[in-house]
Structure 1
């Protein structure tokens, strides 16, 4: 029998450590996306609601971009599958559509 290489032994721990920022950023992206979708302006004069929608969309797209940026690092991509980025990219995409359509 051969023992696993030291690099394989660390992958579980490395995956757990790298999952923390990815999960936190994904939660930020999805919660900001939810806020962008939940805010309903009272009318065309409601500038504060429109500003809130834009802010929530910008934060959601930014957090999704940060998730992609972290995942693009080769050492992270090696241990984290592409599906770790999927929910954040989806939330960022929905927020971008909400931002473009203007509510």
Structure 2
């Protein structure tokens, strides 16, 4: 135990965490996150509606990628979809809030 009350979810119906007199020290830790944007398409321009980023399944009817990840100096992303060759991207993300990967075209396997 570190001597702090750890709050993993908001308290109260309105989502607020109440701090009252007499409480021990309060430590607020904010994780640095980055927003990853992009569009996953086939070679003919049609969207790939189900894909994975670093093994996390995502789906969007228009092939849009919208994902929040922990911010690291370098992010290594692997984008894949069933029947397509995976694509890798490395993003320098230390000082930015979001990265737009633009259009990523996946090529069929084989």
Higher helix proportion (structure 1 or 2) = 1
Larger Rg: 2
The higher-RCO structure (CA 8 Å, 6+ apart) is 1
TM-score, structure 2 normalization: 0.21
Higher strand proportion (structure 1 or 2) = 2
TM-score, structure 1 normalization: 0.22
